[in-house]
Structure 1
Amino acid sequence: MLTGCMLAALLPSLPAANAAVTSYKFDFGGGAVEAGYTGVRAEDGYNASKGHGFNTPANMRNVSAAGKGVGSDAVQFTTFGIKSSNTFNVDLPNGLYKVKVMLGNTGRSSVAAEGVYQVINMTGNNVTDEFEIPIWDGQLNLLVTEGKVGGAFTLSSLEISQLSTNPVTRPTIYVGGDSTVSNYYPLATSIQAGWGQMLQQYIKPSDYNVRNMASAGQIARGFRNDGQLEAILQYIKPGDYFILQLGINDTNPKNNETEAEFKEIMRNMVQLVKAKGATVILSTPQGRATDFNSAGVHNAENRWYRQATIALAAEEGVRLIDLNVISSAYFTSIGPAATLALYMDGDTLHPNHAGALELARLLTEEMKKQGLYR
């Protein structure tokens, strides 16, 4: 006859009945639920007993999606915006979490949580990305919102896992910029890429988490006013870096931003981040692939409000990476044909995957030279 102690030894150990759940996998939409996931339909409202659900299910729809498994269906957020109360809520113990999202059929959709952007402009059906987020108030509040107005903002699956019981972000490098810096999807295989997307290839994840908040078409005024800087300011802390590279779109007359205005908006962002105790690094954008003279020397020093960025770094006492000049020296060394091969076909401004890797490498090497990274 088995005693109670003998029986306990034979049974698998189970969590205590009141143990806090620290990982979830959700499959959204009206279709079949994938094995290992918790199904969530658009009409499933939040209640405390189950610990998850939509805050306002009346503003959600079940929709189909083009993928398989968890990617075969989704929910659509019909009311959105980073401050919207139309969120999917999950009760979680306070701590640091990794959140992985898969969207449905969508283009240029952003993920927001805790009232700020987390991922910018995810593009492509069943596109995936992940981010780390501290939970301070016992609940994750997440939604998918516009990167481009007029799209369908959908969510196919969500995976949440606790990294630490301490609700503090790991040392992080935050990146701001435009289309030459931003993420393109799928992250591992995209033809076009920004150097911010590639930075983690040269930065050890054990040293720094990289959070790229750059977006295509961005100018200084937009980055400051439209939510991207707000997200950084919510989390950035002493020991973190903020690398900011703008100027390309700011010089376009349609954006109505003079060099003097550009400089003062950039100054405001620099000062706001410095006040958080983080290290600011200003970077100048690389030139066009065709900026070669007749002697085969690449030079783009008079582009993109570069002088304003250099002056601002000196005036505010922050670090400068003159990627414009550094990349020109590299392009000169490899020549016009090899340089053109680092840009998108028929496009002399935007780097391809290989070009973004080279720019990230050059930037990281300069960080090492300046003692910013070992």
Structure 2
Amino acid sequence: MLAALYTVTPTSSAVAATGYKFDFGNGAVQSGYMGVRAEDAYSAARGYGFNTPASMRNVSASGSGVGSDAVQFVTYGTKSTNTFNVDLPNGLYNVKVMLGNTSRSSVAAEGVYQIINMTGNNAVDEFQIPVTDGQLNLLVTEGKAGAAFTLSALEITQLSSNPTTHPTIYIGGDSTVANYYPLDSSVQGGWGQMLQQYVSPSNFLVRNLASGGQIARGFRNDGQMEAILKYIKPGDLFIVQLGINDTNPKNTTTEAEFKEYMRDMVRQAKAKGAIAVLSTPQGRATDFNSAGVHNAQGRWYRAATVALASEENVPLIDLNVISSTYFTSIGPAATLQLYMEGDSLHPNRAGAIQLARLVSEELKRQGLTP
């Protein structure tokens, strides 16, 4: 259950409020929240509601409190008009979402992704977003075809009247980088999920848009890069680590093609005044030779990433080599303990924490973060 921040009474004066707490579905309304049913259409007098309620459904959920019911977005997509709309004074807001029952869903607002692939019933996550047109437009959308895209609760808190995002590290990547849920206790982990532990939020917030199975072409073309480019600004960092899935023959991406997709994303981020940073993926847990030395430099199109960093004059985090040095220092058995059981590719939570530590140390060494 989401903790109560404050109580908002559903009157017309709430339109000008700087915070809302919504409990979705047709069940009992949790104390301190405003109840919103699927049939509640947006009205200017109320200041919130669904843009197209005919495309919404009330559904049950398996949690307790606000997580016991939800609404389902029957039509969806980042550009869909089937949104939940909230009138807000312009400014910077923190948005906390709790899903209903779903296997994998993403959250979009203002026409772009905000959170990628939340998994599990009543998953919780949050993001910061600038509001510049007096209204937040949000929906839960596709993370996996065939899933139910549901929303149980929403908390919106104004952080500032200035709609400028804090300095941010945006991350692109694949399953070794992505978020896993629950965020604070997941068995599997991605280093992007853990990076904020090593970066003070007073210096940089971390926005991780990595997703499992992703390739460079997909990250560029299917909405994740679009979301980053909407918000990224001078002084922000864009770290992109791809290549593992690009090398899979089913994705039909040559190393030369991979390099050009990556080059295009680097140049787009630089054109926004941000600092683009290339990272190479770590190797497999089993990449040890008979002398106990870990080496994975031949994996994942690493040579293309290293060459591109030099050609575009951008920083390189050669996590492939850095992690091999660390794995060699702790040995094969301890390295295997940092990966999912029976899996030599995907880090578990402890492994993701160590990889995030290595990334943060390299960022600091290169003067990219305080």
Q: Same fold (TM over 0.5)?
A: yes
Which of the numbers 250, 253, 265 marks the counterpart of 2:246?
250
- In the alignment, which residue of structure 1 is the partner of 2:304? 308
Is the counterpart of residue 26 in structure 1 residue 13 in structure 2?
Answer: no
- In the alignment, which residue of structure 2 is the partner of 1:227? 223
Structure 1: how far apart are the matches of 2:99 and 2:368?
Answer: 36
TM-aligned CA distance change 1:258 to 1:137, over 3 Å: same
Is the counterpart of residue 63 in structure 1 residue 45 in structure 2?
Answer: no
- In the alignment, which residue of structure 2 is the partner of 1:373? 369
Is the counterpart of residue 283 in structure 1 residue 309 in structure 2?
Answer: no
Is the counterpart of residue 357 in structure 1 residue 357 in structure 2?
Answer: no
Is the counterpart of residue 110 in structure 1 residue 112 in structure 2?
Answer: no
Q: Report the alpha carbon displacement of residue 345 of structure 1 after superposing the two structures with TM.
A: 0.1
Counterpart amino acid of residue 156 in structure 2: I
Q: Report the alpha carbon displacement of residue 162 of structure 1 after superposing the two structures with TM.
A: 0.2
Of 19-28 and 182-191, more deviation after overlay is shown by: 19-28
Is the counterpart of residue 152 in structure 1 residue 148 in structure 2?
Answer: yes
Counterpart amino acid of residue 169 in structure 1: T
SS in 2 for 1:250: coil
* C-alpha distance after superposition, 1:259-308 (max 9, x if no partner): 00000010001000000000011000000000000000000000000000
5 Å-filtered alignment, 1:64-79, equals 64-79=60-75
Decide whether the 8 Å contact of 1:292 with 1:298 is kept in 2: yes
Q: Report the alpha carbon displacement of residue 77 of structure 1 after superposing the two structures with TM.
A: 0.2
Give me the TM-score of the superposition, normalised by structure 2.
Answer: 0.96
- In the alignment, which residue of structure 2 is the partner of 1:330? 326
Structure 2: how far apart are the matches of 1:173 and 1:316?
Answer: 19
Is the counterpart of residue 238 in structure 1 residue 234 in structure 2?
Answer: yes
Counterpart amino acid of residue 119 in structure 2: T
Decide whether the 8 Å contact of 1:107 with 1:121 is kept in 2: no
- In the alignment, which residue of structure 2 is the partner of 1:45? 41
Structure 2: how far apart are the matches of 1:108 and 1:277?
Answer: 33
- In the alignment, which residue of structure 2 is the partner of 1:129? 125
Counterpart amino acid of residue 95 in structure 1: G
Query: Which structure: larger Rg?
Result: 1
Is the counterpart of residue 173 in structure 1 residue 154 in structure 2?
Answer: no
Structure 2: how far apart are the matches of 1:57 and 1:319?
Answer: 48
Q: Report the alpha carbon displacement of residue 107 of structure 1 after superposing the two structures with TM.
A: 1.5
TM-aligned CA distance change 1:218 to 1:94, over 3 Å: same
Counterpart amino acid of residue 103 in structure 1: L
Q: After TM superposition, which residue ranges in structure 1, 4 or more long, deviate above 3 angstroms? A: 16-19
Structure 1: how far apart are the matches of 2:16 and 2:150?
Answer: 29
* C-alpha distance after superposition, 1:122-154 (max 9, x if no partner): 001000000000000000000000011110000
- In the alignment, which residue of structure 2 is the partner of 1:4? none
Q: What percent identity do the matched residue pairs reach?
A: 77
Structure 2: how far apart are the matches of 1:247 and 1:154?
Answer: 32
TM-aligned CA distance change 1:17 to 1:69, over 3 Å: closer
Decide whether the 8 Å contact of 1:118 with 1:131 is kept in 2: yes
Structure 1: how far apart are the matches of 2:85 and 2:158?
Answer: 16
Decide whether the 8 Å contact of 1:173 with 1:241 is kept in 2: yes
Q: Report the alpha carbon displacement of residue 19 of structure 1 after superposing the two structures with TM.
A: 8.2
Give me the TM-score of the superposition, normalised by structure 1.
Answer: 0.95
Number of residue pairs the alignment of both structures matches: 360
Q: Report the alpha carbon displacement of residue 20 of structure 1 after superposing the two structures with TM.
A: 2.0
